[in-house]
Structure 1
Amino acid sequence: MANIFSIGQSALTVAQAGVNTAAHNIANAATPGYNRQTVVQVAGQAGAQAAATVGMGAQVAEVKRNYSSFLGTQLLSTQSQQSQLEVQYGQIQQIDNMMADSSVGVAPALQDFFNTLQNVSTAPADATLRQSVLFSAESVTTRFKDMSNQLDEIGQGVNSQIESSVQDLNSAAQHLVGLNQAIVNAKGMPGSQSNDLLDQRDQVLRDLSKVVKISVNEQDDQVNVFIGNGQPLVTGSTAHQFKTQPSKTDSGRLEVVQDFGNQAGAPLSSQQPVGGALGGLLAFRDQTLAPAQNALGLVAIGLASGINAQQVKGYDQTGVAGKPLFDLPPVGVAASSSNQGVASLGAELGDISKLTASDFTFRLAGDQYQLLRSPDQQIVASSANADEVLAASAEQGFTLELSGELKAGDSFLIRPTAHAARGIGVALQDGRDLALASAETAAAGDSGNLRQMIGQQNAKTLNGGTSSIQSAYGQMVGRIGSQTRELQLTSQSASQINAQTETALQNASGVNLDEEATDLMRYQQAYQAAGKVMQMAQQLFSTVLDMGR
């Protein structure tokens, strides 16, 4: 009798576990990251009775978590890729929309400036026409400044988003450490289940993969998480924090570094597999924003240098040799805040046809002086002789002059074109100072030098003598447009791939309410049948008692 009662009780226990598990699944069908759980039951150990072996009912071996680690790992990768491309696309759209807006674009102002020069050629002595050239010059410099300021504002927005991403990074690391410990504690307790904690941890990992690309390995029920080139974020019960800090050579540019207390690690770079939203921000800043700022500055330098060079070849209305029409800011040079030496570095523009939309670094690495091009840090020149490297800068469109002693590890950031667009200005105030004449003793109607100025619009003075001012600007706009279109397509593709992976994981691990309803009915019937067994056992037991009276 005891066996029958025990078997019925085991059946009742298993059925109750099944009902509870199905109900738990149904309750969490909409819970983010929840994975379906199923009861794994096994037959109870059989016992011998006389000449036969009689079963001992059933028991719950485990409540299994239905999770595909392969699809889960794949989802981390696809989510990181989608997030990076989505952020890059969203950022570059701002620049693309700005440049496509004719009301703020530089191209119309450039065209208007050269149209004004063309107009004054009809009456070079006309004071009103001469003054209109200066007004038009003011307008074009204002357009350059406005666009440069907008790019700077986008850069500030990128800084804010980088700070937010780092906060999310650190918060996720702390959360993972807590879940690691909770899972270890739960598995150490008899009969406990850590399935829900595992789901929560996997969901945090998924959310984290939207911030950065992560690699995960599990050890002793705890996950270790790494980012970038293998920088640890979580190792067991330790969260490794990251922070933002201004670049040592550009205070307006935030870097992301690992926080070691008194010191910081090397900054994360767009050249590393950072991935996620943070990787998208770094890639946008290095591959799109900085080149756009530099390319805009290159056009501004092309205009100002070309017109100024022609101005000084002519003569104004008083027969005096012309003075520059435009003011240009000096080449940007910034010493690293960690420099140990007392050296200073000066820079001036050289052959503008050799200028590129790039920044450069001059440094002393060991005993080698080096000039590197950003953002990939390609070595342009390297030598133990500083003068050889300094001289090599002329091939990049600028000249360098080093004063004082440089210590190993010291560096300087050189930005030949980055500040030109926002720093350009008009030097002349009086239209009579325009050097339109080609000879000092020319008649009032002489406009020989003016014709040369007008010719600057189409003169191929940039990009190695292959681009004019206007075409260089058009190339910049076209390049941004092409990048925007490419990012739109790749972002859409990454989104589709991620959605497919998420669907596959959901199909493998998610809750199907129809299936749960079926399981609920099946376990309900089993529960009722188990109750009948126990009822029968009770009746048989009562019969035996009655027989003994």
Structure 2
Amino acid sequence: MGSGIFSIGSSAMTATQAMLDTTAHNISNVNTPGYSRQQVELSTEGGLYTGAGFYGRGVKVTTVTRSTNEFLVKEVNVNTAQNSSDQTRLDKLKQLEGVLPTGETGLGYSASQVLNAFVDVANAPQDVSARQVALSKAQDWVSRMNTAGKQLQDLQSGVVSDMQSTVAQVNSLTKKIADVNQAIAKYQGSGHTPNDLLDQRDQLVKQLNQQVQVTTVPAEDGTLSVFMGGGQLLVLSNSAQTLAVVRDPADPSLGRVALATNGSNRILDGTQMTGGALEGLLQFQDSDLAQTKQQLNTFCANFADALNGQQALGIDLDGNLQTTFDASGNPVGTPLFTNTKDAAALTLAMTSPKGLAAASPLSATPATTNSGTAAVSSLAMARALPTGTATDAATSMPTSTTALNVVFATDPSDPSKLVYSFVDANGNAYKDTSPPRSWTPGTAINDADPASTPTGALFNLSITGVPKAGDTIQISRTAYPAANNGNAMAMLGLRDQAIVSLDGTTKTTVTDAYSQMIGNLGVIVQGGQTAADISKTLVTSSEQTLSSTSGVNLDEEAAKLIQYQQSYQAAAKVLQIAQSLFATLLQTAQQ
């Protein structure tokens, strides 16, 4: 009896000690990330058969298990990967938003100031200081465009740097998972689970999901195979693949994720990254940043080319005509801007205020004998002169000694309407205006001739009022270019013209185009913020659910301590009684 009760009491103390140790282990790891609550599994030692039945032989510790739920663990990992992607993208979007300021610091305001500066140039075309102000405004716009373009380049460089840092973390984590796999496999034959190692591996997988979303497949040897969301293997047993960041062959400024194998890098398809920081970086690079860069460069090119085009249709302060070409077909004159396709490289080519082509090569004057109310609103060149053999504008437009007259007459087919024709100084019809063309109020008069090459109009004449039959408007070479403001007025008119097309189809004014850019980016940022908020809520909710299942509850553990303390004391009492009984037996035997 003594040895039996000793054995039973001893097993009770051993089991209770194991439960106390495990409870203390739980309490000490209450704040350890990824720790799962552990518990001791007990079973009876089995009965000892006697003629009077089976006597119990005490308790034994079967194993120590951890409380976990694989479904909840996977849910946390999926939500973690999505939130990491959303938050990474949002952080970059907020940086991108700062590249396109609003108000007076914005690019649209600066562009409008360039055009507004031509008000003073038009009012005083001979005033060099007014011309200098216009150039200063143009330089300010160029500087702002350069800054914005370079900030986008810096953002792109930052994305590549972040990708390299993220991939380095991925490689480190996959190596650690492979090492833990190897350690876990050593204990596979023991029949017991290395709980702390399993927790460590689960935590590493969660951290890996923060960088790139992965799925896991358990193997019979206790190891875990890890795959990227798109199916690319990262970890198999105790070996890990290595990722690298390489430059996109089509655009070296872009970063791509590649698999490093046998000394070479194989670029992975972007669909392999379905979550995590890598996906957020790639989405920002390939979508958000690329779209903003394209729109900024389009905004730059459309506005700069419009001003360059108008500059090419005028005469500078020294009387140099900008609309002619040399014998090779190259334009003569200096454009306002160069490198117009790239905001970061945009340059103000015009340095001399005298070089601004404020004057129109042509002037229009209603005849003093006119009986109608027609007045000239504007006369501007519509295009540069054709190349061909053109080496001087005199061969394609009225000279200083000849003139072209717009002659109005009654429409023979409808006496209530007017027609017009071009007549040279000798009274001969010019281009295709014989028979005359119909005149529509509000429509510009031009010399377009479908039968000639090019077919486009050389000039556009806009008038106000109503002419009468017999009225004429004389179009002649501008005699005093320094005093003419025709092209400056055309420059100013660009304010209200739809000259910018961000999407390549719909054109709008320069200020509206910039507002559209700001609006588009604002919608993207707002959407990114919403996505990050939602995914963060899902992470918090799933982590709380998992914690309620596998986390440590200090109140519960404290209650267990009291329970196990009492059990330990009771087991000790059993041993004390067994010792007393044994002493009694010894005394009896000695008598």
SS in 1 for 2:233: strand
**Which string of whole-angstrom CA distances, capped at 9 and with x for unpartnered residues, describes residues 4-46 of structure 1?**
2222222111111111110111111111111110111122211
Give deviations 1:48-91, integer Å, cap 9, x for gaps: 11131222222112211001111111010111111111111111
Counterpart CA distance in 1 for 2:575 and 2:506 is 97
- Which residue of structure 2 lines up, in the alignment, with residue 17 of structure 1? 18
2:509 pairs with one of 464, 468, 478:
468
Name 1:311's counterpart in structure 2. 311
Look up the match of 1:168: 169
Alignment of 1:310-389 (within 5 A): 310-322=310-322, 323-329=333-339
Change (3 A) 1:534 1:193: farther
Look up the match of 2:349. 427
Q: Secondary structure at the match of 1:8?
A: helix
Once structures 1 and 2 are overlaid, which stretch shifts more, 103-112 or 84-93?
103-112
Is the counterpart of residue 298 in structure 1 residue 298 in structure 2? yes
Contact 2:314 2:361 in 1 (8 A): yes
Change (3 A) 1:324 1:480: farther
Q: Which moved more, 1:485-494 or 1:536-545?
A: 536-545
What TM-score, normalized to structure 1?
0.80
Q: Distance in 2 between matches of 1:91 and 1:528?
A: 61
- Equivalence map 1:63-102=2 (5 Å): 63-100=64-101, 102=103
* Matched-pair contact (CA < 8 Å) for 2:43–2:60: yes
Q: Which runs of 5+ in 1 are unaligned?
A: 331-416
The answer on 1:452 being equivalent to 2:374 is no
Q: Is the CA contact 2:123–2:485 (under 8 Å) kept in the aligned structure 1?
A: no
Q: Which residue of 1 aligns with 2:459?
A: none
Counterpart in the other structure of 1:381: none
CA distance in structure 2 between the aligned counterparts of 1:222 and 1:9, rounded to whole angstroms? 37
Paired residue secondary structure (2:258): strand
CA distance in 1, matches of 2:76, 2:119: 61
Q: Secondary structure at the match of 1:301?
A: helix
1:234 matched to 2:235: yes
Contact 1:325-1:434 within 8 A present in 2 as well: no
Matching residue's letter, 1:453: M
Paired with 2:282 and 2:548, the residues of 1 have a C-alpha distance of: 35
Could you list the per-position Cα deviations for residues 171-213 of structure 1 after superposition, in whole angstroms to 9, with x for gaps in the alignment? 00110011001111133347x6510111111111111111111
SS of residue matched to 2:483? coil
Which is helix-richer, 1 or 2?
A: 1
Q: Comparing 97-106 with 237-246, which one deviates more in the overlay?
A: 97-106
Structure 1 match to 2:329: none
Relative distance call for 1:150 and 1:71 in structure 2 (3 A) is: same
- Residue deviations 1:450-477 (CA, integer Å, cap 9, x gap): 2222222332232324323222222111
Q: CA deviation at 1:103?
A: 6.4
AA aligned to 2:344 is: R
Q: Give the conservation status (yes or no) of the 8 Å contact 1:301–1:328.
A: no
CA RMSD of superposed structures (Å) = 1.9
Q: What SS does the aligned partner of 2:344 have?
A: helix
Q: Confirm whether residue 277 of structure 1 aligns to residue 287 of structure 2.
A: no
- Segment of structure 1 superposing worse, 271-280 or 201-210: 271-280
Match of 1:539 in 2: 580
Q: Distance in 2 between matches of 1:81 and 1:431?
A: 56
SS of residue paired to 1:259: strand
Letter in 2 for 1:429: T
Is 2:193 the counterpart of 1:155? no
What is the CA deviation profile of residues 237-256 of structure 1, one whole-angstrom value per residue up to 9, with x for unaligned ones? 11000011222233332221
- Structure 1 Cα separation of the partners of residues 184 and 132 of structure 2: 78
Q: Identify which of 515, 518, 525 aligns with 2:559.
A: 518
Secondary structure in 1 matching 2:318: coil
1:339-364 deviation line (CA, Å, top 9, x unaligned): xxxxxxxxxxxxxxxxxxxxxxxxxx
SS at match of 2:95: helix
Partner of 2:343, secondary structure, is helix
1:312 Cα deviation after fit: 1.7
Amino acid at match of 1:240: Q
Partner of 2:30: 29
Aligned-pair distance for 1:228? 4.2
**In 2: Cα distance, 1:101 partner to 1:459 partner:** 21
Larger displacement relative to structure 2 (127-136 or 292-301): 127-136
**Structure 2: how far apart are the matches of 1:103 and 1:146?**
15
Alignment of 1:139-150 (within 5 A): 139-150=140-151
Q: Percent identity?
A: 32
Matched, 1:484 2:525: yes
Partner of 1:34: helix, strand, or coil?
A: coil
1:114–1:272 distance in 2 versus 1, CA, 3 Å: farther
User: 1:494 and 2:535 equivalent?
Assistant: yes
**1:206 counterpart residue number:** 206
- Secondary structure of 2:261's counterpart equals coil
For residues 373-403 of structure 1, give each alpha carbon's deviation from its aligned partner in whole angstroms, at most 9, with x where no partner exists.
xxxxxxxxxxxxxxxxxxxxxxxxxxxxxxx
Q: Is the 8 A contact 1:67 1:509 kept in 2?
A: yes
Going from structure 1 to structure 2, the CA distance change for 1:102 and 1:501 (only over 3 Å counts) comes to same
Aligned to 1:333: none
Q: Is the 8 A contact 1:98 1:104 kept in 2?
A: no
Using the TM superposition, give the Cα deviation of residue 235 of structure 1 relative to its aligned residue in structure 2, in angstroms: 1.1
SS in 1 for 2:150: helix
Conserved 8 A contact 1:104-1:147:
no
Q: Per-residue deviation at 1:489? A: 1.9
Amino acid at match of 2:490: Q
Q: Which of structure 1's runs of 4+ aligned residues deviate more than 4 A?
A: 101-104
8 Å Cα contact 1:35/1:66 also seen in 2? yes
Larger radius of gyration: 2
Contact 1:436 1:447 in 2 (8 A): yes
Secondary structure (helix, strand or coil) at the match of 2:267 reads: coil
Q: One-letter code of the match for 1:521?
A: I
- C-alpha spacing 1:307/1:137, structure 2 compared with 1 (3 Å): same
Are the counterparts in 2 of residues 304 and 325 from structure 1 also a CA contact under 8 Å?
A: no
Deviations 1:87-108 (A, max 9, x none): 1111111121332355653122
Whole-angstrom distance in 2 between the partners of 1:242 and 1:254: 13
CA contact (8 A) 1:87 1:277 kept: yes
Between the aligned partners of 2:320 and 2:486, the Cα distance in structure 1 is 15
